[in-house]
Structure formats: structure tokens, C-alpha cells
Amino acid sequence: MIDWKEYDAVLFDLDGVLTDTARIHASCWQRAFDDFLREWAERNGEPFQPFDAETDYLRYVDGKPRYDGVRDFLGSRGIELPQGTPQDTPGHGTVCALGNRKNELVGEALASQPIDVYPGSLRLLRELRAVGVKTAVVSSSANCAAILRGAGIQDLFDTRMDGAIAAERGIAGKPAPDTFLAAARDLGVDARRAVVVEDALSGVRAGRAGGFGLVLGIARHDEPDVLREAGADVVVRDLGELEGPGA
């Protein structure tokens, strides 16, 4: 299906691509948003409409920088909060405060739950490295480094571009292509000779906008057609379906 000899590097998203942590993020988003939405509804005399951990998660927050996800989801409900600053105490008063509450919940979850790596992803990752293909992890998560360590796969990448590094370097997050392009530059490869592997719509759109040689979508949520429409060249349900470069 894919001729890996045509590419010099493969850039992997983290949550939902390498590790089974997207479910943790979805659950923590739901807790953070539902607490806020319940308080908002009571204060404004409106019915409480909970966050949908599948539909709302995939449509508005999956794969995006945390504060962008907060702003986009609240916008879908016609709610506007002041931006605040990243130093805001976790809470409900600003976009940043609400995003920080979600991050607090993720930290608690990661400290108490095992981090599982998808076997098919791990096999492909190791096979690529065995034949000299460069690898990178490109994630919007500020918890990326901790997740890689917890999963024991931190040494399988030539570079890491995550939410914390992007913020330090002033690099725009997904769906802008900038984090993927920055990772490719760090690897010293042309985007046209690199593959982007994503399960999120925002990430697939970023890969397509960046002019990468191949955008590979992973449909773990039964949405292959949606990923294709967003720009994925190839869509699979798990990387274990693919033959590696050593096949």
C-alpha cells in the first residue's frame, strides 16, 4: 500500500496514533466542560447540555492546542470567555483557566492509569527506524514528554514537537501545518519526502496544508470518509494493517 522507500521521515501524532490516551483526554475534557456548562446553565437560567465525549471531542478539540479547543467548543455553544493568561488558576473564569483545569485532570489521570501503546504502531515505528527512516512525534499536548516516558517509547524518535515546545518557539498549532513543518526542518527533511500520521481532523488538515508527501489517517472512531475529505491520502483503522519497510 505504501512504498516507504519514497520517504525520509515519518511524523506521528501521539494520542490515538501511538498511545491509547485519546480516551483520557476525551474524559477529562468532558469533566472540565460539564462542570463549567452546569454552572453556566444555572447562572443563566438555561437547560444544561453536556459535552459529548465523542461528537464534540472530535469536532472541536481533538488534536488542537488546549486553549484553541476551549475557545472553539465554547464558540459552538455561543459562549464567549475572556482569554486570560496561561498562568490562570484552573477554573471557569477564562479560556486559559478552563484549559488549565482540563490539563490538571489529565495530570491526575496519567499519574493513576497505565499508558498503553498500540502494538501495530510500535511495530511500524521500530521497523522504520531499523531501515534508517527518521521519526518524530508531533503533538499538541503539553503532556507529550510525560506520556512518552510513561509508555517507554521516548527513545524511538529523532525529534519531538509538542504543545510546550511550540509555545516556547511561538509556533502555531494544528490545524495550521507549522508544528509538522518545524519537525521536518528539525529532522533536515523536505516535507514532500515526509509522511504525516494522524487520527484527528485538525492533524490531517495540517498535514495536507503543509504539502507533505503522504498524509496517513487512522480511523479509530469509524470516520474514514471524513478523514479522506479532510485530506488523508490513505486511511486505515490501525497501523498494524500496513506492511512495514522490511516486508
- Give the CB-side neighbour count of residue 213, counting CA atoms within 13 A: 18
DSSP string, 141-191: -TTHHHHHHHHT-GGG-SEEE-HHHHHHHT---TTSSHHHHHHHHHHT--G
Question: How far apart, in Å, are the Cα atoms of 180 and each of 196, 206, 240, 246?
Answer: 8, 8, 23, 25
- Cβ contacts of residue 207 below 8 Å, gap of 6+? 177, 180, 196, 198, 215, 231, 232
Query: Of the candidates 198, 181, 199, which has an alpha carbon nearest to the alpha carbon of residue 190?
Result: 181
- CB-CB contact of 157 with 138 (8 Å): no
Query: Of the candidates 153, 144, 124, which has an alpha carbon nearest to the alpha carbon of residue 242?
Result: 124
- Catalytic residue numbers read 13, 15
- Cβ contacts of residue 49 below 8 Å, gap of 6+? 37, 41, 77
